[in-house]
């Protein structure tokens, strides 16, 4: 499935809202898991693709040895700027890069990591081939992809609620892209085609928690490209969409602190 260009646009206030709301809501639990998996291996150089605002980068910098070099890349410079401003426990190289054309020599890294970025790649086998090219023999490629939206309760609730405001043309960003690459057979096929090795796929459920129902609503409606879809339909209704989403989350999960299921695939490919 082709990923629309607008689904990869994180501009304006989106990177800051992404970091303050979405990162603690859904990304941190899997960032810890991914970093711990890599920490158990002997590596000297790590490349991160689609680093976003640096949640995985920060964990890698905290758990990997000081002598392990870390290069963190993203297509979107504004996201990297946010990541660099937050900083890491030790030195990390931040670099803008396109996963379709990685600007690194062959066999440069012992490990390549990508948390929840592959869903945005316009040609996944091509991106996986790029990973294979820059990975040293015996290296490892670790990445994650969200399971179907029905298994991710806050995203599902927000999508349904916002869709009710635009019944003839409901915004489907969350279902289409972040949760659109969920089929293990498709993932396996793409990895085999591009990377040339069979992946190990684990499906892992975790809990997503927030102090109020409004936090998931703001996170998804204003901190992701769902915002672009809402504003493209009617820019004056962004606040209304966020309010409707918050009310739907509160109705389903309660008026105080909220707790919902999230689920993702963790994929390991040995080089």
> Could you give the CA distance from residue 178 to residue 72 in angstroms, rounded to a whole number?
20
pLDDT(8) > 90: no
What pLDDT sits at residue 115? Answer: 98
Tokens of 80: 């990297």
Tokens of 62: 């905290």
Rounded mean pLDDT, 196-202:
98
Mean pLDDT of the chain: 95
Using 50, 70 and 90 to split pLDDT, how confident is the model at 15?
Answer: confident
For residues 142-156, one letter each, b for 16 or more C-beta atoms within 10 angstroms of the residue's C-beta and e for the rest, the string is: bbbbbbebebbbbbb
Which residues in 52-162 belong to E strands, given as ranges?
A: 69-74, 93-96, 109-115, 135-146
Rounded mean pLDDT, 79-104:
96
pLDDT(9) > 60: no
> Could you give the CA distance from residue 182 to residue 161 in angstroms, rounded to a whole number?
22
Using 50, 70 and 90 to split pLDDT, how confident is the model at 4?
Answer: low
Residues contacting 18, CB < 8 A, separation 6+:
10, 52, 53, 79, 82, 219, 223, 224
What pLDDT sits at residue 41? Answer: 95
Using 50, 70 and 90 to split pLDDT, how confident is the model at 10?
Answer: low
What pLDDT sits at residue 16? Answer: 86
Chain segment 215-233, per-residue pLDDT in tens: 999 999 999 999 999 999 9
pLDDT(7) > 60: no
Residues contacting 135, CB < 8 A, separation 6+:
107, 109, 110, 111, 112, 141, 271
DSSP alpha helix (H) spans, 135-258: 153-163, 173-176, 184-194, 214-222, 226-234, 238-253
pTM of model > 0.85 = yes
What pLDDT sits at residue 2? Answer: 63
> Could you give the CA distance from residue 190 to residue 187 in angstroms, rounded to a whole number?
5
Tokens of 216: 């998931």
Tokens of 111: 């490990």
Chain segment 148-183, per-residue pLDDT in tens: 999 999 999 999 999 999 999 999 999 999 999 999
Backbone Cα Rg of the chain: 18
For the chain, give every domain's residue range: 5-270
Rounded mean pLDDT, 62-70:
97
Query: What phi and psi values does residue 264 have, to the nearest 5 degrees?
Result: -145, 165
What pLDDT sits at residue 226? Answer: 95
Measuring CA to CA, which residue among 199, 15, 18, 35 is closest to residue 124?
199
Kindly give the pairing relationship between strand 258-270 and strand 200-210.
antiparallel
Dihedral angle, C-alpha 180, 265, 245, 21, nearest 10 °: -120
What pLDDT sits at residue 5? Answer: 59
pLDDT(6) > 80: no
> Could you give the CA distance from residue 44 to residue 228 in angstroms, rounded to a whole number?
40
Give strand pairing partners of 143: 114, 267
pLDDT(14) > 90: no
pLDDT(270) > 60: yes
Fold of 5-270: Rossmann fold (3.40.50)
What pLDDT sits at residue 3? Answer: 66
């Amino acid at each position: 499935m082709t990923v629309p260009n607008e689904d990869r646009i994180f501009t304006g206030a989106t990177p800051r809202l992404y970091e303050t709301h979405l990162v603690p809501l859904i990304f941190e639990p899997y960032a810890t898991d991914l970093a711990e998996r890599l920490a158990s291996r002997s590596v000297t150089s790590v490349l991160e693709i689609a680093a976003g605002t640096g949640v995985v980068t920060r964990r890698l910098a905290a758990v990997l040895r000081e002598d392990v070099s870390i290069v963190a890349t993203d297509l979107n410079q504004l996201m990297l700027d946010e990541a660099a401003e937050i900083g890491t426990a030790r030195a990390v190289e931040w670099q803008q890069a396109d996963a379709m054309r990685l600007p690194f020599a062959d066999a440069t890294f012992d490990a390549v990591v990508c948390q929840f970025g592959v869903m945005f790649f316009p040609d996944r086998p091509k991106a996986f081939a790029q990973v294979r090219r820059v990975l040293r023999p015996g290296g490892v490629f670790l990445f994650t992809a969200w399971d179907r939206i029905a298994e991710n309760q806050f995203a599902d609730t927000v999508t349904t609620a916002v869709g009710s405001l635009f019944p003839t043309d409901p915004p489907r960003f969350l279902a289409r892209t972040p949760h659109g690459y969920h089929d293990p057979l498709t993932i396996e096929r793409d990895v085999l085609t591009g990377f040339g090795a069979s992946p190990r796929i684990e499906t892992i459920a975790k809990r997503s928690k927030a102090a109020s129902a409004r936090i998931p609503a703001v996170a998804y409606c204003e901190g992701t490209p769902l915002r672009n879809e809402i504003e493209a339909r009617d820019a004056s209704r962004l606040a209304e969409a966020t309010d409707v989403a918050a009310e739907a989350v509160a109705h389903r999960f309660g008026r105080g602190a909220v707790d919902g299921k999230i689920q993702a695939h963790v994929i390991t490919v040995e080089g």
